[in-house]
Amino acid sequence: MEFVMKSIGVIHSPFIDKNQTPVQPAFSNAVGQVEIFPEFAEGLQDLEGFSHIILFYVFHESKDFSLRVKPILDDKIHGLFATRYPYRPNPIGFSLVRLLEKEASALKIEGIDVLDGTPLLDIKPYVPDFDVVLNTRVGWYGTRIQNKSRTGPMQNRNEY
Amino acid sequence: MEFVMKSIGVIHSPFIDKNQTPVQPAFSNAVGQVEIFPEFAEGLQDLEGFSHIILFYVFHESKDFSLRVKPILDDKIHGLFATRYPYRPNPIGFSLVRLLEKEASALKIEGIDVLDGTPLLDIKPYVPDFDVVLNTRVGWYGTRIQNKSRTGPMQNRNEY
């Protein structure tokens, strides 16, 4: 079954090279701006009450995918769906970011980890009641040998 | 800009009526099954190491949207993007669920809150390092007057 998605805005970030974007928002203090197309701006009402929001977007430079990948945070190959590698059958990404400021049709955000010009698909509020589970097992991510030279704030995003 | 997404599987759940689905996975103990189309099954390798996963899917019964909505968990109108209401410009939903069991091309999951037959777009592992923020403000959700008759495990999903 096919579904057609249309961007509702654009994410502006300091990252113009995909080799220079952070692995995850949790590793980024970068400030960016979410531009919402004017016809959707009314939907932002009350978003300013939330300190954190979730952005859904397209990995627009992702052209193809492999079902087995070596994520940036490990040296072993894993199934694609056990990673956040950006090259996926449906290249949908999500980032949990801090909302710093809201204007009529723009949001200033902190902790952005995407390329400048990333097409925005949706915004949802982050609510710990729904979104937090603390007692988890995290598979290979928990047992990996940390490759410190490849982690840190200025590496490929979302590729763990 | 338009993007074509294709389902990679189907979510099977006990919910066949959208008025009977839970508001959020956090309110659901329902067990369901994620069926992955065989051509994508290889991508599930190592997913079993994770106790919790995030499902991305299409709200396939969502046909239209309004930019201002009254979510099921409140009596006031809010901007659509400050809610998880399922009728959205891009009807993408996500659910954090517990992974109970993995077979070759199927996952048994707990805490499902979607309609039976929901088209699956993506699966990602849940990792508290990336996905947990505890010190948050949650806007209208935090100050709402709880309408107990409308909450609970068997109400419309995702409509807070």
Chain B residue with CA closest to A140: the answer is B49
Q: What is the average pLDDT across A77-90?
A: 96
B157 — pLDDT class (breaks 50, 70, 90) = very low
CB contact under 8 A, B78 and A45: yes
Residue A43: which of B1, B81, B136 has the nearest Cβ?
B81
pLDDT tens across A92-144, in order? 999 999 999 999 999 999 999 899 999 999 999 999 999 999 999 999 999 88
pLDDT tens across A20-42, in order? 777 676 677 899 999 999 999 99
Residue of B37, B131, B134, B158 to mutate, testing the A interface (most A Cβ within 10 Å of its Cβ): B131
Chain B: give the shortest CA distance to residue A41, in Å.
Answer: 8
- Residue A110's closest CA among A96, A131, A93? A96
CB contact under 8 A, B1 and A7: yes
Chain A: give the shortest CA distance to residue B141, in Å.
Answer: 8
| Pairwise pLDDT comparison (B26 vs B54), residue with the higher score | B54
Report the C-alpha gap between A68 and A78 in whole angstroms: 5
Supply the ipTM of this predicted assembly: 0.89
Report the C-alpha gap between A69 and A89 in whole angstroms: 13
pLDDT tens across B80-107, in order? 999 999 999 999 999 999 999 999 999 9
In percent, the amount of chain A with pLDDT more than 90 equals: 70
Chain B: give the shortest CA distance to residue A17, in Å.
Answer: 21
Residue whose structure tokens are 């699966």:
B123
Beta bridge partners, A35, equal: A10, A106
Chain A: give the shortest CA distance to residue B18, in Å.
Answer: 19
Say yes or no to pLDDT of A17 above 90: no
CB contact under 8 A, A49 and B136: no
Q: What is the pLDDT of residue A146?
A: 63
Say yes or no to pLDDT of A152 above 60: no
Say yes or no to pLDDT of A153 above 70: no
Chain B residue with CA closest to A53: the answer is B82
Chain A residue with CA closest to B97: the answer is A133
Least confident of A72-86, B47-61, B133-147: B133-147
**Cβ–Cβ pairs < 8 A, chains A and B:** 238
Q: What is the pLDDT of residue A147?
A: 52
The secondary element (H helix, E strand) that includes residue B130 is: helix B128-131
Residue A92: which of B50, B88, B121 has the nearest Cβ?
B121
Q: What is the pLDDT of residue A154?
A: 32
Chain B: give the shortest CA distance to residue A49, in Å.
Answer: 4
Report the C-alpha gap between B113 and B130 in whole angstroms: 23
Beta bridge partners, A3, equal: B5
Q: What is the pLDDT of residue A22?
A: 73
Residue B158: both structure tokens together: 């995702």
Q: What is the pLDDT of residue B158?
A: 53
Residue A79: which of B2, B45, B80 has the nearest Cβ?
B45
Q: What is the pLDDT of residue B22?
A: 73
Report the C-alpha gap between A83 and A65 in whole angstroms: 12
Q: What is the pLDDT of residue B152?
A: 39
Residue B5: which of A3, A124, A142 has the nearest Cβ?
A3
| Pairwise pLDDT comparison (A92 vs A63), residue with the higher score | A92
Q: What is the pLDDT of residue A115?
A: 94
B50 — pLDDT class (breaks 50, 70, 90) = very high
DSSP B12-24: E-S--SGGGS-SS
Q: First CA to last CA across chain B, in angstroms?
A: 29
CB contact under 8 A, A81 and B119: no
The secondary element (H helix, E strand) that includes residue B122 is: strand B118-125
Average pLDDT over chain A reads 88
In percent, the amount of chain B with pLDDT more than 90 equals: 70
* Diameter of chain A measured on Cα atoms: 47
Chain B: give the shortest CA distance to residue A108, in Å.
Answer: 15
Contact residues on chain A for B3, CB-CB shorter than 8 A:
4-7, 58, 119, 121
Q: What is the average pLDDT across B17-35?
A: 81
Q: What is the average pLDDT across B7-24?
A: 86
Say yes or no to pLDDT of A150 above 70: no
Q: What is the pLDDT of residue B28?
A: 78
